Chains A and B, each alone.
Chain A
Amino acid sequence: MAAAARLKVRNHPWIAQRTGGWSAPSFIARCAFFVLGVVAGGLTTAVFEILSRPAASGAAGVMMLVAAEWLILRKRLFHAGVEEALWTGGLLALAVHFVPSGGDWGLALAVALVLALAAMRLLNPFLMALAFAAASVAIDLAGGHRLWGEHGVPMAAGVFCYGAGAIALLLARFQFSRPSHDHMLSWLMVIMPLCGFLWLASQHAPAIRVGTGLASGIFALASLIVGIRRRSHAPLLACMASLGCVAYQLRDLTTLPLKLKLIVWGSAALLAALGLDRYLRSARRGITSRPVGEGTAALDLLQWVGAGALSPKAAPQADAPFKGGGGGFSGGGADGSY
C-alpha cells in the first residue's frame, strides 16, 4: 500500500486485490476524515454528558473505541483519519475517566501512554510524536513544575526531548519491516528537538541560551550529515528546524531592530537557498534541486495558500475613512488594517 500510495496507483484494481480490501484515502481526504472524526468524538462525549454526567467520558470512550475497531476490522480502514480520531479520542476519554485529574504528572503520563498505544495500534507517527511530547510534560510535572507561570527551569523535560530526537536520529540507521516505523522515527527526529528547544526557549539565563543554541546547532549538523548520507528527507527537515532555533538564540547578536533582523536573516537564507538551488540544478552525487517524480497536491495547495497569505490585505491607512458596503461590486470591504 505504501508503494502504491507513493506512485499514486492506490486505486488500481491489482492493488485492491492484493491488499485484501484494505483501503486508505489520499492525505487531504485523511485530514478531512480526521477532523470529522474529532468532531464526531466530541459530539458523542457531549451526548453522554447529557445522558449521564458521571459516566460520560467512560461510556463515550468505549463507544468511540468500538466504532473505531469496527471501522478497522470490518470496513478495513487503514490511515483513513476517522478511525484514528475515534481510536485516540476513545482512549483519551477513558484515560480522563479513570485517572484522577489534579494537574499532577499522572494524567500527563496516562495521556502519553494512551497516545503511544494509539500510535502503535494505528501506525501513526504523528501520534507517536505527540506521545513523546506528552511524556516530556509528565517529566516536567514530576519535577515539581506547573508548566506555566512558574520560574523553575524545565531542564529535565528539555533534555528528554533532545535525547529522544538524538536517539531517533541514531535508530533510523536500522532497517525496519514497516515504513510506518521509519516514519515514526522521522517525526520524532524533527519534532522532539523543537520541543526541547521550546521548553527552554523562554529562559534568559546566558548558560541556558548558549546550551540550547549549541544543542540545536550540533543536532542540525548531525542531522544534515545523516540526511545527506542516507538520502533521507526527515533529517534534513530536522536540520532546518534546528537551524531556525539557532537563529532565534542568536537574535541578540546585533542591536538591529526586529524588522531589519528579519530582512537581513531572511535575505541570508534566501541567498543560501538560491545558491543551493543553482548549485544542485545539475545533480551532484545524485542530489538535485529539481523535482523528481510527481509532486504532492497537498504541498502545492499549501504553497498557494501561503503565497496568498503573504500578500498585504490592505494599505496602511492612517486617516482615510473606512468606506464600507462596497455597492455595485466596487469592493470597499478592505478595512485599512495592515
Chain B
Amino acid sequence: MIVTMHSLEMEFQELQKAGVIAEPDATQAAALERGTIFSVFEELRFALYAAVAAITAGIGLLVKDNLDRIGPITFIVVLALASAGCYATALRTHRQGKERSIGGDYLLLLGALIVSADLGYAESQFHWLGTEWQWYLLILAAFHGVTAYSLRSRLVLCTAIAALAAWFGIEGRVATMFNVGGSTVLGTHAIVCAGTLLVWRAANRRLGGPEYFESVFENFAANIGFWGALALCLTPGSRLLGLGLLAALAAASIFKALRSGEEIFAVYGTAYTALTLCCLEAQVIEYGLAVLLLELATVVAGALLLWSFHRNAAARA
C-alpha cells in the first residue's frame, strides 16, 4: 500500500478545469502525486555524479603521485583503455540511434574526464609541447568539443568549456578575484573567454548545432563574464573598464531575461551587479556611515530591480 503525504491532486484537477493546464499534464501530475508513476531520475543523477566525482578524484590523486612503479606508458595506456570503454558505450548507443540514458550520459562524462587526466599526465611526463604546455588545454577543449557535438552531450560540452576556461587561466577560485595585481590579467582573460563562448554560441546557432547547447554557453558566458568584470572592478588600475563592462553585461543579461523570460539572467544582471558595486564602494570609500548607507541603497536597488522583473514577467504571462 502506498501511503501518501500531502496530495495536490485536487488542485491539479482544478487547474485543468480552469484551462490553466492541459489534460495530459494534469493526468501526469496526478499520477506523480498518487505515486503510480515515480521517477528516481534525480536520485540517480546525484548518485552518478558522486560516483564519477569519486573516481575522478581517485584518478587525480594517482596522476599527482609519481607512478614510477607502474611506469608512465602503462598508466597512460590503462587510462586510455578505460576512457575508450566509456566512449564505446556511448558510441554504440549513438549508432543504434537510441536516446542515451542518464547513466550513459555520466559514463560518457567519466570517459571525458579520464581523457583529460590522461592527456594532462602524458604532457607532464613527455613534455610534447615544451614550454607551451598550456596549449594542451586548448587541444583538450577542442577534443571535448568535437565529442560533445558528435555524441550530443551537454555534460561533455561543460568539460570542453571548463578546459577552454582553464586555458584562459580561469581556475574558478574566489580568492584569485581579490588578488590585487593579478586580477587585471584574470579579469581580461575572463571577459575574452566569455566573448569566445558567445561567438561559439553564435556559430552553434548559425551552423545548426543542437539548440539545447545554447543555454550551456549562455550560462557559462554570463558567469565567467561577470566574474571577469568583478575582478577588473576590484583592481585599482582597471576600475573604469570593469565598471563599463559590468554595466554592459548587466544590460545584456536583463535584456535577455526580458526577451526570453529566463529569470536566471535577471538574477545574474541584478545580483552580480549589486554585489560587485558593494565591493567596489567598500574599496573606494573610507569606512563609515556614508559607505554603509550607499551599500545598503545599492543592495535594495538590486532587490527592487529583480522584483520588478518578477512582477513584469508575471504581468506579461
Residues B3 and A229 in contact, CB atoms below 8 Å apart: yes
Using an 8 Å CB-CB cutoff, how does the interface string of A221-234 with B read, 1 for contact, 0 for none?
00000000111110
Within 8 A of B (CB), among A35-55: 35-37, 39-40, 43-44, 46-47, 50-51
For residue B146, CB closer than 8 A to chain A, the reply is: no
Residues B134 and A43 in contact, CB atoms below 8 Å apart: no
Contact of A32 among B44, B54, B113, B306 (CB under 8 A): B306
Residues A176 and B5 in contact, CB atoms below 8 Å apart: yes
Q: How many B residues are at the interface, by size bracket?
A: 35 or more
| Interface SS of chain A | helix
Q: Give B75 Cβ to nearest chain A Cβ, in Å.
A: 12
Closest to A299 in B: B42
Residues B40 and A236 in contact, CB atoms below 8 Å apart: yes
For residue A101, CB closer than 8 A to chain B, the reply is: no
Within 8 A of B (CB), among A272-299: 272-274, 276-278, 280-281, 283, 286-293, 296-297, 299
* Residues of B participating in the A interface, judged by any CB pair closer than 8 Å: 1-8, 11-12, 15, 18-21, 25, 28-29, 32, 35-65, 101-103, 106-107, 109-110, 113, 116-117, 119-121, 123-124, 127, 130-138, 154-155, 158-159, 161-163, 165-172, 185-186, 189, 192, 216, 219-220, 263-264, 266-267, 270-271, 274-275, 278, 288-289, 292-293, 295-296, 299-300, 302-303, 306-307, 310-311, 313-314, 316-317
Residues B166 and A230 in contact, CB atoms below 8 Å apart: no
10 CB contacts below 8 A, A to B, read A3-B11, A179-B8, A266-B57, A290-B41, A291-B41, A292-B39, A312-B60, A312-B166, A313-B166, A334-B169
For residue A148, CB closer than 8 A to chain B, the reply is: no
Q: Give B170 Cβ to nearest chain A Cβ, in Å.
A: 7
A321 to B43, CA, bound (A): 44
Contact of A262 among B1, B58, B106, B117 (CB under 8 A): B58
| Interface SS of chain B | helix
Contact of A326 among B4, B102, B166, B168 (CB under 8 A): B168
Contact of B39 among A179, A237, A240, A291 (CB under 8 A): A291
Residues B288 and A50 in contact, CB atoms below 8 Å apart: yes
Residues A314 and B264 in contact, CB atoms below 8 Å apart: no
Given contacts A229-B3, A230-B3, contact A266 B51 (CB under 8 A): yes
Residues B5 and A46 in contact, CB atoms below 8 Å apart: no
Residues A312 and B61 in contact, CB atoms below 8 Å apart: no
For residue A269, CB closer than 8 A to chain B, the reply is: yes
Apart from A281-B101, A292-B32, A326-B168, list 14 A-B contacts with CB within 8 A.
A9-B21, A35-B275, A230-B2, A244-B50, A270-B52, A272-B47, A277-B44, A283-B37, A287-B40, A288-B39, A289-B41, A308-B159, A311-B116, A314-B166
Cβ of A233: which chain B residues have Cβ within 8 Å of it?
Answer: 42-43
Cβ of A269: which chain B residues have Cβ within 8 Å of it?
Answer: 47, 50-51, 54
Residues A240 and B185 in contact, CB atoms below 8 Å apart: no
Q: Give B273 Cβ to nearest chain A Cβ, in Å.
A: 11
Q: Give A269 Cβ to nearest chain B Cβ, in Å.
A: 4
Identify the stretch in A104-112, A116-124, A253-261 within 8 Å (CB) of chain B at 4 or more residues: A253-261
Given contacts A307-B158, A331-B138, contact A278 B103 (CB under 8 A): yes
Residues B40 and A258 in contact, CB atoms below 8 Å apart: no
Closest to B165 in A: A308
Residues A25 and B310 in contact, CB atoms below 8 Å apart: yes
